[in-house]
């Protein structure tokens, strides 16, 4: 959530940002409610002072008529205060509801555009492979090598669920361990987090836990949600706390299953493992001093590059445009891997993102640090280390061989214990 005084003092910039982010929100109404709330609070404080002064006058002996007058005045003030308190509570509630609709401000260098087509390519790494044979997409490969079973997943759990089988199971475990080892070397504290979080924690990160447009699964009869990312559980870890300034930055990395409804996400690039309802992910989350969050975002994207360079997967980095940032992010960089089976000639597909959310989430979650005798909101950042399902797509499609096998990159083979996946009939 944005600072309310900032919204009032920078209303034109906030309105422009809301338009650029293509968000349905009303900054003018927020300012109106903010001023009304403040006016009610001033009047409430004035009425309470009058009530106290009236009570003080009754502490001395008074003529009956004066005491009666003061009693009547006390009753009037009590009724007035009760009405003002009701108005203040209602206005405060509506103010918070409207303010939470506003997105974070955008970095001045973020491209102003809408949709993936407005993202700006910053750099590439690696060379997309060329094939002398008719290459296949990951769905064909996974089925041919008996690695993924979509049909049974749909029959047992529904569409966009799946079973990983055989070497694919070991690939998932190896990718998780590889990512965690990398992050431990970078100074992260690693976690295995809960797969559920309370609705207020999810909302505190800037995600809508309920409603027809929500991608969050909620658990009936509870205030719990299945997490869409370990960002929720890692960020919620310090909700409501005041952190020591000298402890910053605090760098967490968490493994969790991720559950997403992916409502309305059907399309030619959504098949197979690309958009699924459940996958495993290693997520980075950082609590940072405000002065260091821009540099920390660069560090997170550098760690993501290190991981995928180790996997020898060609990729590009894009600066995400304002219309594609989502509510909490101030700036976001995505890594898009080359996926040869995507479209007729291959395409880039997102496999990680790294975001600087400044103090937007910290205000909602109440996470501060003490410095110079003052409590200040931290900046929070998040980044994907490895999202297993999409990483599997890139591995299967980029490292396929003419004989139908998959030759793994050396870094990953040291974790799996095998360097090649061959068709069942040819396997020894």
Residues with catalytic roles: 260, 275, 350, 353, 390
Closest among 116, 107, 100 to 327, alpha carbons compared: 100
Max alpha carbon distance in the chain (Å)? 108
DSSP secondary-structure letter at 248?
A: P
Phi/psi zone of residue 416: left (φ > 0), alpha (ψ -120 to 50 degrees), beta? alpha
Cα within 13 Å of Cα(408), Cβ side: 21
Number of H helices, E strands in the chain: 13, 17
In this structure, the number of other CB atoms found within 10 A of the CB of residue 90 comes to 12
Cα within 13 Å of Cα(55), Cβ side: 9
Phi, psi of 320 (to 5 degrees): -70, 135
How far, in whole angstroms, is CA 188 from its chain's centroid?
18
Contact 223, 199 (CB under 8 A): yes
Three-state secondary-structure class, residue 324: helix
Sheet strands (E) in 58-179: 120-125, 148-149, 163-164
- Cα–Cα separations (whole angstroms), residue 321 to 1, 17, 37, 358, 372: 20, 12, 35, 17, 36
For residue 280, the surrounding DSSP H or E stretch is strand 278-288
Strands 242-244 vs 368-371: parallel, antiparallel or unpaired? parallel
Cα(51)–Cα(48) distance, integer angstroms:
5
The length of the chain is: 428
Q: List, in sequence order, the alpha helices (H) in 26-63.
A: 27-57
Phi/psi zone of residue 321: left (φ > 0), alpha (ψ -120 to 50 degrees), beta? beta
Cα(297)–Cα(328) distance, integer angstroms:
14
How far apart, in Å, do the first and last CA atoms of the chain sit?
58
């Amino acid at each position: 959530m944005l600072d309310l005084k900032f919204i009032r003092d920078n209303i034109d910039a906030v309105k422009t940002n809301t338009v650029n982010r293509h968000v349905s929100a009303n900054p003018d109404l927020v300012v109106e409610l903010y001023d009304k709330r403040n006016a009610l609070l001033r009047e409430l404080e004035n009425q309470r002072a009058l009530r106290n002064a009236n009570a003080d006058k009754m502490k001395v002996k008074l003529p009956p008529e004066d005491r009666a007058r003061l009693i009547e005045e006390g009753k009037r003030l009590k009724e007035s205060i009760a009405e003002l308190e009701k108005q203040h509570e209602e206005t405060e509630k509506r103010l918070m509801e409207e303010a939470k609709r506003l997105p974070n401000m955008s970095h001045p260098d973020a491209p102003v555009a809408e949709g993936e087509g407005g993202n700006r390519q910053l750099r590439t790494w690696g060379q997309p492979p060329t094939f002398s044979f008719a290459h296949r997409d990951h769905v064909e490969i996974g089925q041919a090598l008996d690695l993924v079973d979509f049909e049974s997943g749909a029959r047992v759990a529904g569409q966009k669920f799946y079973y990983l089988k055989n070497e694919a199971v070991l690939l998932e475990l190896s990718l998780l361990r590889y990512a965690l080892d990398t992050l431990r070397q970078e100074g992260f504290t690693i976690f295995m987090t809960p797969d559920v979080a309370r609705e207020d924690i999810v909302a505190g990160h800037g995600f809508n836990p309920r409603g027809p447009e929500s991608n969050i699964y909620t658990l009936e009869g509870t205030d719990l949600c299945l997490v869409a990312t370990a960002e929720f559980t890692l960020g919620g870890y310090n909700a409501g706390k005041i952190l020591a300034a000298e402890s910053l930055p605090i760098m967490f990395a968490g493994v969790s299953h991720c559950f997403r409804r992916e409502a309305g996400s059907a399309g030619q690039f959504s098949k197979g493992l690309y958009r699924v309802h459940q996958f495993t992910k290693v997520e980075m989350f950082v609590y940072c001093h405000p002065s260091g969050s821009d540099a920390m975002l660069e560090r997170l994207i550098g760690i993501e590059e290190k991981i995928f360079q180790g996997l020898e997967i060609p990729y590009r980095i894009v600066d995400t445009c304002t219309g594609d940032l989502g509510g909490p992010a101030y700036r976001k960089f995505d890594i898009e891997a080359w996926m040869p089976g995507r479209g007729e000639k291959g395409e880039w597909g997102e496999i990680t993102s790294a975001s600087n959310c400044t103090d937007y989430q910290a205000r909602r979650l109440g996470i501060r640090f003490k410095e110079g005798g003052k409590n200040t909101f931290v900046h929070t950042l998040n980044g994907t280390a490895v999202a297993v399902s999409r990483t599997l797509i890139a591995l299967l499609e980029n490292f396929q061989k003419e004989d139908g096998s998959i030759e793994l990159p050396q870094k990953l083979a040291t974790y799996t214990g095998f360097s090649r996946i061959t068709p069942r009939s040819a396997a020894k």
